[in-house]
Amino acid sequence: MSRVAIIGGHGKIALQLSQILTSRGNEVTSLVRNPDHVPDVEATGATGVVADVEHLSATQIAEAISGHDAVVWSAGAGGGDPDRTYAVDRDAAIRTIDAAQLAGVMRFVMVSYLGAGPDHGVPEDSSFFPYAEAKAAADEHLRASALQWTILQPSRLTDEPGTGGITIGHESGEVPREDVAQVAARVLERTDAAAATVPFIGGAVPIDNALGAIFRIA
C-alpha cells in the first residue's frame, strides 16, 4: 500500500485516478482549492484537503504532502487567462516539485500533454501559447530535479469510456481520460518508470504491455 497525494484532485483525470488507487488499497490525499469539491473527492475513497497551491509557498505545500510516498500533478488553470495559466501550470507546479524535494517525497508523476517541451512549436499569437510555455518550464524543472519523475504526455483528451489500451508515440490522436488515469496508476506501481517521458494516444495495446515496451521490460 502506498500513500499518494494528488494535486488538482477535483479534475476529471484526478477523480478517476483516485478511485483506481483507493480500490487497490492505496491511501489517497486529494488537494483541492474549493471546499465545495471535497465531497466529490471523498466519494472516490480519498481524503480531501483544501490547499490552494496557486497561493501556497513551497514550504506550505511540503507540509501538505509530507508523509506521502508519491505526488501526482494533475492540476491546471483551464486556460483563458494567460496570467493564471503561468501562475498555476508553471509557477505552482514548480513550487510543488520543490516542495516534494523538501518533504522527501521523491516519486513524482506529472500529467503533461503530447508535444510539451521547449520546442513545442506553438506560435506566440496562439491562445495555447501560455499553456505550452508553462508546461515546458514545469516539465524541464522536474527533469532537472532530484526526484524520481515520470512525465505523462497524453494526446487530446476525451470523456469516452476507457479501452484499457494505448499506443506509445508522438502521432496525433486522442485518448480517454479514463485511460490516462490508468496509465498514471500503473506507472506509480512500477519501479522502472523513473526518469521517463511517456508520449501516448489511444490504441489497442494493453497498457501494461505498452508501458513494458517503453520501459524495456517484457
Which residue in 188, 214, 73, 41 sits closest to 142, CA to CA?
73
C-alpha cell at 124: 506566440
C-alpha angle 98/101/105, rounded to 5°? 125
The single residue of 73, 108, 113, 131 carrying the catalytic annotation is: 131
Among left, alpha and beta (phi > 0; psi -120 to 50; other), residue 173 is left
The answer to whether the beta carbons of residues 186 and 166 sit under 8 Å apart is no
131 included as an active-site residue = yes
What CA–CA distance (Å, rounded) separates 142 from 150? 9
Cite the DSSP H helix spans in the chain. 12-23, 38-42, 58-65, 82-85, 93-103, 129-143, 177-189, 207-214
**3-state DSSP assignment of residue 106:** coil
- Active centre residues (catalytic): 131
